[in-house]
Chain A
Amino acid sequence: MKHYHYLLLLSILFFSLCTGTAVAQWFDYPTPGIPRNANGSADLDAPTPRVGGTPNIGGIWVAAELLKDQCPDRDNCITQMDLPADQRDVARNLEGGLPYQPWAAKLVAERAARRSMDDPHARCLPPNFPRAYYFPQYYKIVQTPDLIVILHEFNASYRQIFMDGRPLPEDPFPYWSGYSIGHWEGDTLVVESLGYRDDLWLDMQGNPLTEEARVTERISRPDFGSLQIELTVDDPKAYTAPWTVLLQSNVVVDTELIEEICLENEQDVQLFEVE
Chain B
Amino acid sequence: MKEPILILLIKAVILMAVPAWAHHSPAAFDPNIEVSITGSVTELAWTSPHARLYVDVVQEDGSVVNWNFELPSPVGLMRKGWRRKDLAPGDTVSVIGIRAKAHPSIAIADAILDAEGNPVFSN
Interface residues of A (CB under 8 A from B): 27, 67, 69-81, 83, 88, 114-117, 122, 124, 136-137, 153, 255, 258-262, 264-268, 270-274
- Asked if residues B123 and A69 are in contact (CB atoms below 8 Å), the reply is yes
- Taken together as a complex, chains A and B put the C-alpha atoms of A272 and B14 apart, in Å, by 23
Would you mind naming 27 contact pairs between A and B with Cβ atoms under 8 Å apart? A27-B78, A70-B20, A72-B14, A72-B17, A73-B9, A73-B13, A73-B111, A76-B6, A77-B10, A77-B123, A78-B110, A79-B72, A79-B77, A81-B76, A81-B79, A116-B27, A122-B27, A136-B76, A137-B75, A260-B75, A265-B49, A266-B48, A267-B106, A270-B102, A271-B29, A271-B101, A273-B101
Contact between chains at A78 and B22 (CB < 8 Å): no
In the complex, what distance in Å separates the CA atom of A116 from the CA atom of B24?
12
Q: Per DSSP, are chain A's interface residues mostly helix, strand or loop, or mixed?
A: loop
Min CB gap B110→A, angstroms: 6
**Known: A78-B111, A260-B75. Contact between A115 and B82, CB under 8 A?**
no
Q: How far is the CB of B59 from chain A (nearest CB, A)?
A: 22
- Please, how many angstroms separate the alpha-carbon atoms of A270 and B82 in the complex? 28
Instruction: Determine if A77 and B122 form an interchain contact, defined as CB atoms under 8 angstroms apart.
Output: yes
A72-B13, A265-B48 known; A115-B76 Cβ under 8 A: no
How many Å lie between the Cα of A80 and that of B74 in the bound state?
Answer: 10
Q: How far is the CA of A270 from the CA of B103 in the complex (A)?
A: 10
* A32, B50: Cα distance in complex, Å: 32
B78 and A258 contact, CB distance less than 8 A? yes
Chain A residues whose CB sits within 8 angstroms of the CB of B72 once the complex forms: 78-81
Q: Is the CB of B28 within 8 A of A273?
A: yes
Q: Which of B48, B52, B78 has most chain A Cβ within 10 Å? A: B48
Please determine whether A73 and B76 come into contact, CB atoms closer than 8 angstroms. no
Closest CB of chain B to A91's CB: distance in Å?
18
B residues near A, CB below 8 A? 6, 9-10, 13-14, 16-17, 20-23, 25-29, 45, 47-50, 52, 68, 70-80, 82, 100-103, 106, 109-113, 119, 121-123
> What 9 A-B pairs are tightest by C-beta distance, nearest first?
A81-B76, A265-B47, A271-B28, A117-B27, A72-B17, A76-B119, A79-B80, A272-B27, A115-B27
Contact A70 B48 (CB under 8 A): no
Report the separation of the CA atoms of residues A71 and B13 in the bound assembly, to the nearest whole angstrom.
Answer: 9
Nearest CB in chain B: distance from A87 CB, A:
10
Residue from A74, A76, A265, A266 whose CB has the most chain B CB atoms within 10 Å: A76
**Shortest distance in angstroms between B14's beta carbon and chain A's nearest beta carbon?**
7
Q: Which residue in chain B gives the minimum CB-CB distance to A114? A: B27
Instruction: Give the Cβ gap from B104 to chain A, nearest Cβ, in Å.
Output: 12
Q: Is the CB of A265 within 8 A of B73?
A: no
Q: Which residues of B contact A260 (CB under 8 A)?
A: 48-49, 73, 75
Given A71-B123, A268-B25, 7 more pairs with CB closer than 8 A: A73-B10, A76-B111, A77-B10, A77-B111, A81-B79, A265-B47, A271-B27
**A78 and B49 contact, CB distance less than 8 A:** no
Nearest chain-A residue to B6 (Cβ)?
A: A76
Asked if residues B73 and A78 are in contact (CB atoms below 8 Å), the reply is no
| Contact indicator B28/A79 (Cβ below 8 Å) | no
A65 to chain B, nearest CB (A): 14
What's the least CB distance linking A238 to chain B, in Å? 24
